[in-house]
Amino acid sequence: MLQMTESDANFGSSEAELESHDSAMSQATDARLVDKARHGDTDAFGQLVQRYERRVMKVIRRFMPDQDIALDLAQDAFLKAFDRLEQFDPSRRFGPWLFRIAVNTTYDHLRKIKRKGKWALFSEAGEDRVPDPQAPDPRGDLDLSQEVQAVLTDIPETYRTVLVLRDLEGFSTSEVAAVTERSEATIRWRLAEARRMFKDAWERRQRSIEEEQLG
């Protein structure tokens, strides 16, 4: 059995303290930049964009794989955040507030696609093309990430959001709770349900593909 030495324990403790310190420093920097941006400093908001743009883009791509559309949605989310800075509660963290705007902006777009009868897995650019009846089933060319995306669309938004943020993007339970404005207990329950839904939907999809291949 592995045993933790005193030096190991001290290292683990120091590492945790360092991460906590870094997080606190990051929040302090966010708060300072937000305060400046609220007083008309556009350069300060530009720094916030630089701090978060890659992570915001990654989260949006989990719901909308099309690169160009995801980029438009990310830009829209930052514009909304800038316009709503006066509504932001300075006593709270900026990151979860921004991610909530990004997720909601993405879902609004997906709902518009759904109302138009389009399948959100693919980009709008190729939706007008008439499929070739002689062409093989395009699902055969989907890689694993696209398969995951297809299955995620079968999960209700409330649970999909928790699953994406917690399991795919590595947000902590407290962070997901802050983004969704729900308690940590609720997030843990929804995560368990979301994992079950994903497992069931994945198995159904695989059976369907196997049946079509056999047929």
Residues of the chain with CATH 1.10.10.10: 142-215
Q: Which CATH number fits domain 142-215: 3.30.1120.80, 1.10.10.10, 3.40.640.10, 3.40.50.300?
A: 1.10.10.10
Given a contact cutoff of 8 angstroms between Cβ atoms, the answer to whether 197 and 152 are in contact is no
| Residue (of 98, 93, 97) closest to 25 by Cα position | 93
Distance separating alpha carbons of residues 201 and 124, to the nearest angstrom: 25
Please identify every stretch of the chain with a pLDDT value under 70, giving residue numbers as ranges. 1-25, 117-143, 215
pLDDT of res. 123: 40
Query: pLDDT at position 214, please?
Result: 79
Given the structure tokens 């947000």, which residue do they identify?
171
Does this model's pTM top 0.85? My answer is no
Predicted local confidence at residue 124, as pLDDT: 41
State the pLDDT at residue 135.
47
**63 Cβ contact partners less than 8 Å away, ≥ 6 residues apart:** 103, 106, 107, 110, 152, 160, 164
DSSP calls for 65-94: --HHHHHHHHHHHHHHHHHTGGGS-TTS-H
Kindly report the CATH number that applies to the domain delimited by 26-120.
1.10.1740.10
